[in-house]
Structure 1
């Protein structure tokens, strides 16, 4: 149990160290999302999934962290922008 508590505190500390965890639109920044993916522990993956759920991202149970991050970022893009 102590190990889980330490992991949760460690994740929280890492997240606090990223001062720009939100982009200019108030959404999670790529740097923050990538730090969660790089951490690789279950708590970080759960945080990514929580962010995805908050943004109504559609994903399956076996999705990779890279694909999940791309889907999260895709929901943040402005669909009115044309190139």
Structure 2
């Protein structure tokens, strides 16, 4: 047996989550870069009134619908026993 079989191979980073991070063509000072300090400037948002209204309505709807569905599901489950 040769000692080459027992030597560890160099790692090959094939998975996307462990790959090398790249900037994707964005400079570190670009104000619209995803992780920039200006990421949450709502005054720069396009269609701000519509977007925020839909966002708040969606969050409120999910916050109401999930507990209501859970109660109805539990009551149906209890009735079938």
Same fold by TM-score greater than 0.5: no
Based on CA coordinates, which of the two structures has the bigger radius of gyration? 2
When normalised by structure 1's length, the TM-score is: 0.25
When normalised by structure 2's length, the TM-score is: 0.26
